[in-house]
Chain A
């Protein structure tokens, strides 16, 4: 899978704000979509694996939705906290083991 786009490239929000960002990918040959959170100097952390059209997953204040027909996924963060500051990466896969990463959305949550 090529042409994975994430927007916005970066985002500054205030503590307590809710925010969301987008991952767009070609809808053909879709198998699964992975979301990761990558904090500086740490390992990228797996957040979600999504496979079904209309799927919605939640982990604490973070949730994600998937539209495989139109080729996009949204990641939502409710009530942002400074510890949410990180780069959020999406990676669709067309089957097999190859993850194709977007360039990420860099989130900064300010007090």
Chain B
């Protein structure tokens, strides 16, 4: 069963706007990762945030983690048409498992 659940399932915005995607999970985690998938391609890692971190930045990406609420958010600022893709969160569960459990993703469309 999915550990991470992204919200919303789909998001459509205009170029230049910010896009926020959320992820909720159920059990204790070591880290949480965000990935992007362009149509017809494999997933590409964007950012990893550890369970003892609250916020992390990478370029136009900002990720927050609230372990008390078991949730994370991915913010893409000043979106571009090239940001159109599906975005997935993946949780690495506490206990040392190498497995990542992926959510079903948020499909982001950025209209030019």
- Chain B binds chain A: no
